[in-house]
Chain A
Amino acid sequence: MEWLFAILVGGLYSAGLYLMLQRNMFKLVLGMCLISHGANLLIFTAGGLTRNLPPIFSEANSIPAQMTDPLPQAFVLTAIVISFGVTAFLLVLVHRTHKILNTDDVDDLIKTDLQ
C-alpha cells in the first residue's frame, strides 16, 4: 500500500515544485498547496497505514494496542490547519501585489526591491 502513496507523494511534490518554479504568482500559491498536501501525506504514510482502527475508544475497540498510531494524526492535523493559515495569507498577499503592481509575474517583484 505504501508504495502507491509513495508515488502519490512524489507526484504531489514534483507537481508542487514545478508550479512554484513558474513565473505566475497564482501558480506559486497552487504549488504551495500541493507541497503541503504532499508533506501531510508523507507524515501520514510514514506513521503507518491501518484500516478501520481509528484511535478512538469505543465499545467495539477499547484496547490501545489495536489502534492506529495517533501521534502522526495529531501532527498532520496541526499541519493542515497551519498550511491553511499560510495559504490564506499568501493569497491575500498575491491579491494585494496584483492590485498595486498590476502584475502576476514573480520576476516583476525584483523591481520594487530596487525602488
Chain B
Amino acid sequence: MLIPTTILLALSSALLPFLLHPLNKLLRNIILTIPPLLALLIIISQLNSQEVPSYQLSWLPSLGLDLYFESSYFQLLFGFFILFIGIFIHLFAVIYLQNDPSQKSWFFWFFMFMGSMLGLIFSANLFLLFLFWELTSLASFFLIGHYYEQEEARKSAWEALLITGGGGLCLLTGFIMIFIITGSVNLPELQDKFNNTSYPLLTNIAILLIILGIMTKSAQYPFHFWLPDAMTAPAPASAYLHSATMVKAGVFLSFRLSPIFSNLYLWHVLLVFFGGFTFFWGALCCLKENSIKKALAYTTVSTLGLLTCLIGIGTPEIIYSAVLLMFAHAIYKAGLFLFAGTIEFTTHHKYLSKIEGLWRKQPLFFMVALLSIYSLAGFPYTFSFHAKEELIRSIYRLNPSYIVMFSLLLIIGNSLIIGFSTRLFIIPLLRAKTKEATFHPGISSFLLTNIPLFFAIAGISIPLSKDLTGIFHKLSHNFIPNIVVEHSQNTTGHFQHYLLLLPSILSWSIGIVLGFYIIWKGNIINEQGITPFATRLYQHIIQQLLLQSDRITRFFQNGKLRSYLQTFAVAVLIVSFIAIVTEWEIIKANILTHIVRPEHKITKYDFILTSIIIAGIFGVIFARTKLTAVICLGIIGYGMAIVFLIFSAPDLAMTQFIIETLTVSLFVFVFYHLPEQPLYRRKTTKYQNLFICTLFGIVMGFLTLSASSIQTHPSISSYFTTKSLNEAHGGNIVNVILVDFRGFDTLGEITVLAIAGIGTYALLRYQRLKNHE
C-alpha cells in the first residue's frame, strides 16, 4: 500500500499549483515539495525493511490488467533517486522559472512526470508499466514544448513524442505478444513461464519490438536524435527528464527484463550491437557539438548506449556495474545540466565558446563545472570512477576475446568523452575574446549555483561515505536474485591494480590530448551545431508524410460528386467480388435452383411487363429531352406498380401509382420553367462508367438472387399474420403493421416526410420572396 501512496503523493503535487492559486508564488512553490518529500521518507523507511513488499489490486482481470506494484531494493533505490534528484531540480526550477507566466503548467507536467516515472519503476504488470511509460512521454512532450511560441521547441516536442510514443506502441505490441505466448503480463510470474514456451518466431518478434521501444525511449542510435533536439526544454526539464530519469526508463526496462530474456540470443545481440554503437557515436557527436546542452545530451546518449550494451552482455557482475554507472550518471549529469541552465539563465548564451573567461568572473561557479566535469571524466575517487572500476573488473571476468573487444570500445568511447570534458574544462579558463558575456551575480544566481554544486559534490562524496557505499553493497546482493558479487574493498587483490587502471589511464591520456587538439584547431567546431543524418531523415520522412497524405486527400476529396460515387461503387464491387469468389459454391447452388427449377411459371405477360420496364430504362438513358426522360421514368414507375399488383401487393401498387403520378408531375412542374438544355455526355469517361455500372448491376442481380433464396434466420412474419386479426382487429395485415405494430416507425417516416416537405416548401417560398423583391 505504501508504494502506490508514493506515486499518488508525487501526482498530487501536480494539482497543487492550481489548488493553491491564491497563495504567494514562492510559498506555493515551496509547498509543492512537501508531497515528494513525504514520498521520499516512505521510500527511505522501506529501504531498511527486509521483505519485498508488493501491492496487487485487480483492475481489468479480463485483459490481464492489474494494479500490481512491487518494490525490490533496486526499484526502491531508483525511486529514491527520482524523488531526491526531482526535489532539488524542483527547487532549481522555482528560481529558474520565477518570471515565467506559465510556470504552473510546467510544474503540473513536472510532477505528473515524477509520479508516472515512479509508477513505471514500481509497476510489476507490463500493461501498467506501458501506461506509465506513455505518460512519461506525454509529460516530456509538454515539458520540451514549454516555450511553445518558438517553432524549434514545437518541432522538438513533436519529434520526441513521435519517436518515444511510436516506440511505446512497439513496446505495447511486444507486451501483447508476450501475453499471447505466456498468458501473463505480471513480471514475477513471467520468469517461470517464459522458459518453457514453444513460439520461437513470435518470441523473437516480441523481443525485437520491445527493444525498439527501449531504443526509442533511451535514445539509442538511430533514434538518438530526438534527445539533443529536446534540449529546447527549460534546463531543469532537460536535467531531470532527459538525462537523469526519463531516458533511463528504457535502460530500466531492460534491467527488469534481462533475467526473463537472459537465454535468448537475439536480446543480447541487439542490445550489445546498438548499445555499443550508440556509445561510440554519441561520444563522437558530443565532440563536434557547440551548444553546451546539446553536447551534454550527446554524452547522455553515449552513456545510455554503454548501459544498454552492458545489459546486453548480461552477466550479473556487469549488470551490477551498469546499475552503479546509471546512478552515478544520474547525479553528475543532473549537476552538469543545471550548470548549463545557470549559464543560460545568467548570460542568455548557450554556446560553449561564449563561456570563455568564466573562471575570472565567477570562480565559485567555475568550481561547480570543475567538480561535475571531474565526475563526467570519471577521475579517481568519484562515484563514476568507482562504477567504471567495477565495470572494468567485471569485464575482465569475460572471455579473453570479449575482454579485448569491450576494453577497446570502452577506451575509445571514454577518451572521446574525456576529450569533450577537457574542452568544457579549458574553455572557461581562456581569456574572453568578446566582452559581451556578462554574468549577473545576484541572490537568484547564487541559489542557482548551489544546487548544481550540491550534485557535483554528491557525485564525488558518495564513494567516500561508508553509509552510502553500504547501500550499494546491499544493492549488489539484492536486486537480481541470481547475482552473487563477492564485493568488498579487498577483492581487488584478485587483479593487479595497474591492470584495472590501465584502460582508464589510457582513455584519460588519449582524451586529454584529443581535447587540447580540438581547442587548438578551433575551426572543427561548427558554430551552428550539427544536424545529424538521422534528424534529416526524420524531417524528410515527416515532410513526405505530410506531402503524400495531402496528395492522397486531394485525390480522393476532389469535390466532384461523380468521383466520390465512382470510388464508392468500385469499393462495393471489390468487396462483393471477394465475397462472390469465396462463397462461389453456395451462390452457384442457389442460382441454379432459381434458373433450372423456377418456383413460378413465367407467363408471357410477365415478359411483356419486364420488357416494358427495361424499355423505360433505356428510354431514360438515351432520352434527348427532359420531357422524354420524365415520361420514361413514369413508365418504369407504373410498370413497378403493376408488378406489385400481380404479386399480391395491392397496397404497394396503390401507393406506387399515387407516388409515381406525384413524382412525374413534380418533375414536370419543376423543369417546366427551366430552359431546355442538352443532356450532354462526356465521351472520355463514358466507357469507364459503362464498365463500372454494368458490373455494379450484375452484382446487384446476384445479390437479388442470393437474397431471395437464402434464409439465415427464421422469419418473424408469422407473428404479424397471426396477431393481426385477433389482437389488432385489422384485416389488411400490411396496413396493420404500418399503423399498429410498427406505429412508431411510421411516425418517424412521417416526420422525415414532413421535414422534406418543409424543406421543399421553404426553398420554393424563398425563391418566390426573392422574385417579389
Contacts and interface: CB of A to CB of B under 8 A. Distances in A.
B610 A71 contact: no
B708 A91 contact: no
Interface residues of B, number: 102
Contact of B656 (A78, A80, A107, A109): A80
Interface stretch (B81-89, B98-106, B598-606): B598-606
Contact of B738 (A40, A42, A74, A91): A74
Given A50-B647, A82-B753, A84-B662, A11 B617 contact: yes
Contacts of A37: 636-637, 640
Contacts of A22: 562, 679, 681
B717 interface: yes
Contact of A70 (B703, B717, B760): B717
A30 B650 CA distance: 26
B696 A82 contact: no
Contacts of A91: 666-667, 670
Nearest to B649: A73
Nearest to A22: B681
B716 to A, nearest CB: 7
B705 A6 contact: yes
A50 B560 CA distance: 43
Contacts of A17: 565, 569, 692-693, 696-697
Contact of A110 (B559, B621, B640): B559
Contacts of B484: none
Interface stretch (B383-391, B437-445, B496-504, B725-733): B725-733
A13 B734 contact: no
A10 B708 contact: no
Interface in B613-672: 613-614, 617-618, 620-621, 626, 629, 633, 636-637, 640, 643-644, 646-652, 655-656, 659, 662-663, 666-667, 670-671
B633 A14 contact: no
B717 A71 contact: yes
B649 A34 contact: no
A113 B598 contact: no
A47 to B, nearest CB: 8
Interface stretch (B329-337, B352-360, B577-585, B742-750): B742-750
B478 to A, nearest CB: 69
Interface in A6-21: 6-15, 17-21
A85 B757 contact: yes
Given A2-B704, A26-B679, A73-B649, A21 B734 contact: no
A34 B566 CA distance: 17
A100 B752 CA distance: 27
A71 B737 contact: yes
B399 interface: no
Contacts of A14: 693-694, 696-698, 700
B621 A71 contact: no
Interface in A58-115: 58, 62, 64-65, 67-71, 73-74, 76-78, 80-82, 84-89, 91-96, 98-99, 104, 106-107, 109-110, 113
Contacts of A29: 667
Contacts of B602: 1, 4
B724 interface: yes
Contacts of A48: 708
A72 B555 CA distance: 40
Contacts of B643: 5, 41, 44
B756 interface: yes
Contacts of A49: 599-600, 647, 708
Contacts of B677: 104
Nearest to B591: A3
B689 interface: yes
Contacts of B767: 96, 99
B637 A9 contact: no
18 contacts: A6-B701, A10-B701, A11-B697, A12-B636, A17-B696, A21-B692, A30-B633, A45-B707, A51-B648, A55-B648, A64-B721, A70-B717, A71-B716, A71-B717, A71-B720, A71-B737, A85-B753, A109-B559
